[in-house]
């Protein structure tokens, strides 16, 4: 199975900060990487697909990059509604796998 | 708009089975796969399996093999996930989700159901 390792597991940041989350795959997955945001009590929400494509309706302050084994999610200017947990997920090979999550907390 | 509406919460005893349904609307059901994901209390997301609706082919996580069955009913645009021989550590919120890309799972999941809480307790 492909292991997805996210870092950091949590980050404290202030409104307006630039936040970067990384996701590393245990083997190459081309660009088959998605990012999700989840708030407590809610289902996950797709933010980025195919490593760098912004899902419709997602603010442009979210961006994704990377290929093969190393990927990043960047929030350019953190907004109050962005405090949540973020997950990466590889779609290259079954079984699909998620990263462990990164909790973005208010500083 | 695209919607996935899941069945209601369940409380089951250890050893029982549960079936979660996922009724879809707003898109061509046959063209997109359905993924099942679960989340135990306070934990991360766990992929359970995927079904290609157009041909019924499934992939599931090894830890569930023999206990999980994913099916679809194209006449009612509904997906089902049955989990058998329930244990206390199956207590979780179960989600269905529509694939972003037609016919495969590479693009992640773009629309999710609201989640179904399953509690396994004696």
CB neighbours (10 Å) of residue A90?
A: 28
Question: Scanning the structure block, which residue is given the tokens 């899941």?
Answer: B6
**Mean pLDDT, to the nearest integer, of A12-23?**
97
Predicted local distance difference test score (pLDDT) of residue A107: 87
**Mean pLDDT, to the nearest integer, of A5-14?**
97
**Mean pLDDT, to the nearest integer, of A93-102?**
97
Within an 8 Å CB–CB cutoff, is residue A103 touching chain B?
Answer: no
pLDDT digits (tens, 9 = 90+) for A32-75: 999 999 999 999 999 999 999 999 999 999 999 999 999 999 99
pLDDT digits (tens, 9 = 90+) for B13-71: 999 999 999 999 999 999 999 999 999 999 999 999 999 999 999 999 999 878 999 99
Within an 8 Å CB–CB cutoff, is residue A16 touching chain B?
Answer: no
Nearest CB among B46, B105, B115 relative to A43 is that of B115
pLDDT of A2 above 80: yes
Question: Are the Cβ atoms of A32 and B106 closer than 8 angstroms?
Answer: yes
**Mean pLDDT, to the nearest integer, of B97-112?**
94
Spatial CB neighbours of A43, under 8 Å, sequence gap ≥ 6: B95, B97, B112, B113, B114, B115
| Chain A residue whose CA is closest to B60 | A95
Within an 8 Å CB–CB cutoff, is residue B109 touching chain A?
Answer: yes
Using a pLDDT cut of 90, give the percent of chain A over it.
98
Using a pLDDT cut of 70, give the percent of chain A over it.
100
Predicted local distance difference test score (pLDDT) of residue B64: 87
**Mean pLDDT, to the nearest integer, of A76-93?**
97
Predicted local distance difference test score (pLDDT) of residue B3: 98
């Amino acid at each position: 199975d492909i292991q997805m390792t996210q870092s950091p597991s949590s980050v404290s940041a202030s409104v307006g900060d630039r936040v970067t989350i990384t996701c590393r795959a245990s083997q190459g997955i081309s660009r088959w990487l998605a990012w999700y945001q989840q708030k407590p009590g809610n289902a996950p929400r797709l933010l980025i697909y195919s490593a760098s494509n912004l899902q419709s309706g997602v603010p442009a302050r979210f961006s994704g990059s990377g290929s093969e084994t190393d990927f990043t999610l960047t929030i350019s200017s953190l907004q109050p509604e962005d405090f949540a947990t973020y997950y990466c997920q590889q779609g290259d090979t079954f079984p699909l796998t998620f990263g462990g999550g990164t909790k973005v907390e208010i500083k | 708009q695209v919607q996935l509406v899941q069945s209601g919460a369940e409380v089951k005893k250890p050893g029982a089975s549960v079936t979660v349904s996922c009724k879809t609307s707003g898109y061509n059901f046959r063209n997109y796969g359905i993924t099942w994901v679960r989340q135990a209390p306070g934990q991360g997301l766990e992929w359970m399996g995927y079904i290609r609706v157009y041909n019924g082919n499934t992939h599931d996580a090894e830890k569930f093999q023999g206990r999980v069955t994913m099916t679809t009913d194209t006449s009612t645009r509904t997906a089902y996930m049955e989990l058998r021989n329930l244990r206390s550590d199956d207590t979780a919120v179960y989600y269905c989700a529509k694939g972003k890309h037609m016919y495969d799972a590479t693009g992640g999941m773009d629309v999710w159901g609201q989640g179904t809480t399953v509690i396994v307790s004696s």
